[in-house]
A and B are shown apart, each in its own frame.
Chain A
Amino acid sequence: MEKNQILAEVQEIFREVLDNEEIVLANETNADDIEEWDSLTHIQLIVAIEKHFKIKFTSLEILSWKNVGEMIDCIKSKI
């Protein structure tokens, strides 16, 4: 799967979980850019992403992402 397609699917998950249809993700987007994205919703997002792509992240992977781009790279390496 191409990175752009993963990004589009992740964006859809963000909109659904955070209940905000206006969210637009880019590789550089991080938690500071989206009001609803905090340490708690982060875990909800991860559970939804893991379910959607049928993958499992390690704790260190989850804790080390600095932005959406790094998360997408990690997803790509697992599917």
Chain B
Amino acid sequence: MLFTSYRFLLFFTSLFVLYWIFGRKSVKVQNGLLLVFSYLFYGIAEWRMLPLLIVATIVFYWLGIKIDKSNNIHSRKIFTHIGVLLGIGVLLYFKYFNFFIESFAYFFDTIGIHTNIHTFNILMPLGVSYFTFKLISYVLEVERWKMEATKNFVDFAVYVSFFPTIMAGPIDRPNKFIPQLQSPRVFSIESGIDGGQQIIWGLFKKVLIADNLSPIIDGVWENMSNYSGSTLVFALFLYTIQMYADFSGYSDMAIGVSKLLGIRIAKNFNYPFFATNIKEFWQRWHISLTGWLTDYVFTPLHIRFRDLGNFGMILAIIINMVLVGMWHGANWTYAVFGLYQGLLFIPIILKGKMHKKQKLQTTILGLPKFVDICKMFGVVCLYAIGIILFRAENLGQSWEMIRGICNLSIFSLPQILTHKVQWLLSVFFILVITEWYNRDREYAIQPLSYSLKSIIPYILIDYILLFFVIFKGNVGANSFIYFQF
């Protein structure tokens, strides 16, 4: 059930009414409703995997209590390791098992040993990459004394299965999410407007920009040999824009929906196109994933390698970024994508700029300085190059893309520069400018105050955005890029 579907509108409206009428003053009713609707949401999408989700929730709930009650470090560690291994095990089995089998078979074939290994027909549970990370995060936070294990099963089950985030994140942290479930949420006009506004902004990015670009870019990737080098390069930039509009649009909708239920969830994007180096870019792009890996992979590795100086940091960041890549799916293209991103950090580390926080200065018009615009564009170019790996079905297709780009046709005009694409690029340009001037806000059209007078301009903006969504948006599109991960 997509946020952009009428089915979801009906589903959410029913919950919204019940939640704020019957659950107004009762934590139990509110959390009970959230759990029932979350399981319903998951069950509608994939009922066969609902038992897995419930069993995993029960096991990790029990593990949390065991870790918390452990009197010595040793048993604390054992229960935590069980949790981490179980979480990784579920992820590896469902997401990577066939990939490992195929890779082993290929490896043995290349060294002349013929194998007769078959892959299995494994159904990947929806959102498995997201809910296993939540489960692992929970046992680690309890182990590190950052939170007490929750004694309320419903609270924990809502944390794991919360419907706005179960399919594609953001990946919430238990110590930020669970405490919100412990007191009744009170509806306020402010958070209602704020949530609604963020949903409209997300809808605009997703339905108007991402979904209109999607068929154009798909067409290029499917028939690469028919297009000039310049068209392929142009498609890489368009896909970067599509990814941002799709995933940040989805995230805005998930955050907005949660706000309407009085719950604050993790942020996922912080204007990544304004980053002036790749390190900053990854601190602004898919924040809930990169933050998770920073806390549970990069930092522990960095601590372990701390006596190796810069080399230790480089090693930690490369392992971390390869995992960021591999998280996206069982394909070597993602691993190489991660490796490429990790290598881009090396000059920053060697220059000693990892610790430096860049503060942007602006010109009289409030725009960034020319040199910073060049840096921002440079970062987008580096990311777009990575798309060659990220989007390709295999390394062979990436290579085909590179060959397609590296010839004289790169000096021609892109073949897909149609009126529609030009129009979409203009819309994107307006979006970037709006984001730049409002970059201190959580999202670009967040109201600063909620008095009637200050809300009126926002209502007008909403009308315009919704007009474009309805009349110009690709409403029939039915997927989000990040659902597949």
- Total A-B residue pairs with C-beta atoms closer than 8 Å? 42
B306 & A63 in contact (Cβ 8 Å cutoff):
no
Indicate if A59 sits at the interface (CB-CB under 8 A): yes
Contact with B303, one of A35, A38, A41, A63 (Cβ below 8 angstroms): A63
Indicate if A44 sits at the interface (CB-CB under 8 A): yes
The digit string for A10-48, where 1 denotes a CB below 8 A from any CB of B, is: 000000000000000000000000011011111110110
B355 & A43 in contact (Cβ 8 Å cutoff):
no
B306 & A40 in contact (Cβ 8 Å cutoff):
no
**Interface size band for A:** 10 to 19
**Interface size band for B:** 20 to 34
Query: Which of these binds chain A: B13-21, B98-106, B294-302?
Result: B294-302
B303 & A43 in contact (Cβ 8 Å cutoff):
yes
Contacts A/B (CB < 8 Å), 26 sampled:
A35-B357, A36-B355, A36-B357, A38-B355, A39-B294, A39-B295, A39-B299, A39-B302, A40-B354, A40-B355, A42-B299, A43-B302, A46-B303, A59-B300, A59-B304, A60-B77, A60-B143, A60-B144, A62-B303, A63-B144, A63-B299, A63-B303, A64-B144, A64-B145, A64-B146, A66-B146
The residue of chain B having its C-beta at the shortest distance from the C-beta of A57 within the complex is B303
B-side contacts of A62, CB under 8 Å: 303
B-side contacts of A41, CB under 8 Å: 355
A-side contacts of B355, CB under 8 Å: 36, 38, 40-41, 44
A interface secondary structure, majority: helix
A41 CA to B302 CA in the complex, in Å? 11
A58 CA to B108 CA in the complex, in Å? 40
B146 & A59 in contact (Cβ 8 Å cutoff):
no
Q: Known contacts A64-B144, A64-B145, A66-B146: does B300 contact A46 (CB below 8 Å)?
A: no
Residues of A within 8 A of B (CB): 35-36, 38-44, 46-47, 59-60, 62-64, 66
A-side contacts of B460, CB under 8 Å: none
A39 CA to B77 CA in the complex, in Å? 23
A28 CA to B9 CA in the complex, in Å? 47
A-side contacts of B299, CB under 8 Å: 39, 42-43, 63
A36 CA to B73 CA in the complex, in Å? 32
B-side contacts of A36, CB under 8 Å: 355, 357
The digit string for B427-451, where 1 denotes a CB below 8 A from any CB of A, is: 0000000000000000000000000
B-side contacts of A44, CB under 8 Å: 355
The residue of chain A having its C-beta at the shortest distance from the C-beta of B307 within the complex is A47
A60 CA to B143 CA in the complex, in Å? 9
Q: Distance (Å) between the CB of A13 and the closest chain B CB?
A: 15
B306 & A60 in contact (Cβ 8 Å cutoff):
no
A42 CA to B299 CA in the complex, in Å? 9
Q: Distance (Å) between the CB of A66 and the closest chain B CB?
A: 7
Q: Distance (Å) between the CB of B252 and the closest chain A CB?
A: 26
